Amino acid sequence: MFARLKAYLDSVRARDPAPRSRWEVMLYPGVWALGFHRIAHWLFEAKLYFLARLINHISRFLTAIDIHPGAKIGKRFFIDHGFTVIGETAEIGDDVTIYQCVTLGGTNPTSGIGGKRHPTIGDNVIIGSGAQVIGPITVGKRARIGANAVVTDEVPEGATMIGLKARSTLVPAEEWIREFIPYGTPCDEPCEDQIASSNRKLEGVEAELARLRAEVEALKSSSEPVKKSGTDS
């Protein structure tokens, strides 16, 4: 048990450079929320729904993180900071990182029957702060959900999703195999290539505009002698 706890705390330190020791990680609200959820989920599986909900409410009061007791969470799950909501039928794989103010929300079934209505998050996924992942969709392994993205469609493995509604940046394989990207949001790359491409297009437009201006000036210069000669006669 202590070996597993130690390995978990070390996995958190590997993703967050702020803590100086494992003891400091033990104070993280995400660590406490996960511990409470393990108990609540065990009670939920035993059909002790009221007790499960009671543990859930205590956890939410203490940590500002709301994880439904029915949610299934894998190993080494890390919520950095708080104010996160995870719905009942959400399924989360191993080594997933979620930042603050994230919602793994569900759709409202028109039939009134619950069923699977929350996302399934694959292994090694990173979800940036403020992101909203909604509905019974699957987020593939090693995907990155950028800050404030809204995701309502399936996410392929290794994709980086940005924007509202989120779109894929089509990150090449050599980029997404990197071990970890803080907040799931690339700052320089792979967006750097898109910015460079836009800059090249802008430079091309400016060059074409300069050429057209030069041609207009040349036409003006060539027409001036004709006007002068016509005036002299």
| Residue recorded with tokens 């990150």 | 171
Identify the band that residue 232 occupies on the pLDDT scale cut at 50, 70 and 90: low
Per the structure block, which two tokens stand in for 97?
């990182």
Closest of 177, 194, 99, 189 to residue 143, by C-alpha:
177
Per the structure block, which two tokens stand in for 24?
């400091």
**Phi and psi (nearest 5°) for 232?**
-65, -35
Closest of 92, 89, 67, 59 to residue 77, by C-alpha:
92
Q: How far apart are CA 130 and CA 97, in angstroms?
A: 13
Q: What is the pLDDT of residue 206?
A: 86
Identify the band that residue 212 occupies on the pLDDT scale cut at 50, 70 and 90: confident
Per the structure block, which two tokens stand in for 228?
């002068």
Q: What residue segments make up the domains of the chain, in order of their start?
A: 2-187, 188-233
Identify the band that residue 122 occupies on the pLDDT scale cut at 50, 70 and 90: very high
The 10 Å Cβ neighbour count of residue 172 is: 11
Per the structure block, which two tokens stand in for 72?
């299934």
Identify the band that residue 230 occupies on the pLDDT scale cut at 50, 70 and 90: low
Mean pLDDT across the chain, nearest whole number?
85
Q: What is the pLDDT of residue 201?
A: 79
Range 177-183 average pLDDT: 61
Q: What is the pLDDT of residue 165?
A: 78
CATH topology of domain 2-187: UDP N-Acetylglucosamine Acyltransferase; domain 1 (2.160.10)
